Amino acid sequence: MESTRNKLIKLLAENDSNYISGQQLSDDLQISRAAIWKHMKKLEEDGYKIEGKTKKGYRIIEYPAKTSENTLQWGLQTNWLGKKIIHKTSATSTQHLAHKLASENAPHGTVVIADEQTEGKGRMNRSWYSSKNKGIWMSIILRPEILPYLAPQLTLLTATVIADVFDKQLGVTPQIKWPNDLLINQQKAAGILTEMQAEQDQIQYIVIGIGINVNHSIHDIPEELSEKATSLHIASNQERSIKDLIQQILQSIEPAYDHYIMNGFSDAKKKWESYGFKIGQEIKINTMKKSWIARFNGIASDGALLIENDDGQIQKMYSAEIDWFGGEEKNENKN
Ligand code: BTN
């Protein structure tokens, strides 16, 4: 059940910068005015700045900087994305929680966020290191009316949106390594994991998991990842507000998603290719069975990796890892 405190914050937030009278709050929340006053004092202790004026009532003039459902809702300019936000100080994985909520009918646009994950998941069953308050660990539940085979386009779209936020709003230009790794100076700063529940011709829901290393210093990156991973802080020497960045990302995903649903994938494909890492160059393709070198020609209209092999043949790849170093041996078999 939602606490009275949360209901109170919601009422104040809904009123934005307008005052709401003590009487109205007491009627809406069915508690005494003295109890309202006590809650206000508690909110102030939590870092909220509240203005109380006789005859006018109360309004919140400043939210604490920390991430919470209320601080994320405050000032979030979206129509449907993040209207329901679930924030946890700790979770095994926001993906797990999002799947559970989605199977219990959580609406399209529900967002699950954790300050830390104890079992963060990456692609290919890898683990995803998600230390407390250092990054964005977030899963978004979507219910798109598209055919299941098109779902990978949504992950590529999400990568382009995050790339645009880094580039245009934070001034840090990333590259996207197919399919969804965001690199800064050839080191990974963010990754996306998309999981889907679908029947043959219908998606029940998609969970898009977004992991972004934001405020890690070099010492916060585990040694085994130190060559491969970076953070926005390391790359730009600047700490960022996690809360503000989540809001910026949600505000950017919503219009991009709406545009995609209306107009299809072609604009996102162009954008993806503008950030694409190693396009036009040789890359190493790794599949379960073998590794080989090919030229990376960009992505196909369905989002597949397009490569040109030595014999000039163009091949579409749907599942592979690409690499750009240590690729001396051609056609080396893994079996
Ligand atoms: C990858 O690059 O391998 C994908 C990483 C995805 C990590 C995010 S963090 C939020 C969500 N919860 C998880 O457990 N994983 C995704």
DSSP letters, 159-195, are HHHHHHIIIIIHS---EEETTTEEEETTEEEEEEEEE
pLDDT digits (tens, 9 = 90+) for 294-308: 999 999 988 999 999
- Closest ligand 1 atom, residue 121 Cα: 14
Number of other CB atoms surrounding residue 270 within 10 Å: 12
Would you say residue 326 has pLDDT above 60?
A: no
CA-nearest residue for atom 3, ligand 1, is 122
Please give the distance, rounded to the nearest whole angstrom, from the Cα atom of residue 66 to the centre of ligand 1: 22
- The answer to whether the CB of 290 falls within 8 A of the CB of 333 is yes
CA-nearest residue for atom 9, ligand 1, is 211
Would you say residue 1 has pLDDT above 60?
A: no
| Exposure letters 55-84 (e unless 16+ CB within 10 A, then b) | eebbbbeebeeebbbbbbbbebebeebbeb
pLDDT digits (tens, 9 = 90+) for 266-290: 999 999 999 999 999 999 999 988 9
331 confidence band (pLDDT: 50, 70, 90): very low
The preferred substitution site among 88, 95, 123 for testing ligand 1, maximizing ligand atoms within 8 Å of CB, is: 95
- Closest ligand 1 atom, residue 92 Cα: 14
Helices (H) and strands (E) in the chain, counts: 10, 15
CA 86 to chain centre: 14
104, 82, 81, 319: which is closest to 204 by C-alpha?
A: 104
Any residues with Cβ below 6 Å from ligand 1, and which? 93-95, 117, 120-123, 126, 128, 130, 137-139, 181, 191-193, 209-211
- Closest ligand 1 atom, residue 130 Cα: 9
- Closest ligand 1 atom, residue 117 Cα: 14
pLDDT at 124: 87
pLDDT at 74: 81
Average pLDDT of span 182-201: 95
pLDDT digits (tens, 9 = 90+) for 53-111: 888 999 988 888 788 888 898 889 999 999 999 999 999 999 999 999 999 999 999 99
Residue 19's Cβ-count burial label (10 Å; 0-12, 13-18, 19+) is middle
Scanning the chain, the segments in alpha helix (DSSP H) are 4-14, 22-29, 33-45, 69-73, 94-103, 151-164, 170, 232-236, 242-263, 266-275
Mean pLDDT of the chain: 91
CA-nearest residue for atom 8, ligand 1, is 211
Average pLDDT of span 225-236: 95
DSSP letters, 17-62, are TS-B-HHHHHHHHTS-HHHHHHHHHHHHHTT-EEEEETTTEEEEEE
Please give the distance, rounded to the nearest whole angstrom, from the Cα atom of residue 2 to the centre of ligand 1: 28
Average pLDDT of span 32-54: 88
Average pLDDT of span 241-246: 95
Determine what percent of the chain is predicted with pLDDT higher than 90. 74
pLDDT at 2: 61
Please give the distance, rounded to the nearest whole angstrom, from the Cα atom of residue 192 to the centre of ligand 1: 6
CA 94 to chain centre: 11
* Separation of first and last alpha carbons in the chain: 54
The preferred substitution site among 86, 137, 188, 245 for testing ligand 1, maximizing ligand atoms within 8 Å of CB, is: 137
Would you say residue 17 has pLDDT above 80?
A: no
Would you say residue 126 has pLDDT above 50?
A: yes
Q: Which residues contact 3 (CB under 8 A, 6 or more apart)?
A: none
Q: Which residues contact 160 (CB under 8 A, 6 or more apart)?
A: 176, 256, 268, 271, 272, 275
Model confidence pTM above 0.85: yes
pLDDT at 333: 38
325 confidence band (pLDDT: 50, 70, 90): low
Please give the distance, rounded to the nearest whole angstrom, from the Cα atom of residue 209 to the centre of ligand 1: 5
- The answer to whether the CB of 114 falls within 8 A of the CB of 137 is yes
Distance in angstroms (rounded) separating the CA atoms of residues 143 and 134: 29
pLDDT at 327: 38
- Closest ligand 1 atom, residue 188 Cα: 2
For 149, the token pair is 């085979």
